Amino acid sequence: MNQILIGVILMMGLGGWFLYNQNTTLKAENQAFELRDQEQKLTIEAQQESFETQTSALNSLTARNAEIEGEMSRYLDIFRRHNLNKLALAKPGLIETRVNSGTKDVFDSIENDSKELDNFNNTTGPD
């Protein structure tokens, strides 16, 4: 009877030791999973913020593109309605100043757009 009792106590002790070690291992793994989950949540939040920034930038570029296309069609319409060669031969001073002014405006616009893009790239940084 004593031997059976000692055997049962020994088996319960070994079982308790095994379960304690298993519990310690599972606690360590649970902490690692919680840390991983926190990192993933932070990464998802950062990606969502980046997506929102890119979306707003894309929307503003799309709106600007629509404006530019409207200007382009307006200017092309002007060229279609007028014979600039004939007008330039008849009134060279009038055409020269307008063409030079328009060219300057176009180059200034390109320069401003380039500065905006450069500033945008500098504020967002490389991904």
Burial class, 95, CB count within 10 angstroms (exposed 0-12 / middle 13-18 / buried 19+): middle
Residue 58: inside a domain = no
Average pLDDT, integer, range 65-93: 84
Domain around 118:
83-127
Residue 127: inside a domain = yes
Average pLDDT, integer, range 16-34: 94
Number of domains within the chain: 1
Residue 32: inside a domain = no
Residue 99: inside a domain = yes
8-state DSSP, 125: -
Backbone phi, psi, residue 126, to 5°:
-75, 145
Average pLDDT, integer, range 5-26: 92
% of the chain with per-residue pLDDT over 70: 96
The CA distance from 77 to 112, in Å, is 25
| Cβ atoms of 87 and 95 closer than 8 Å | yes
pLDDT band for position 94 (cuts 50, 70, 90):
confident
Average pLDDT, integer, range 65-77: 91
Backbone phi, psi, residue 82, to 5°:
-120, 145
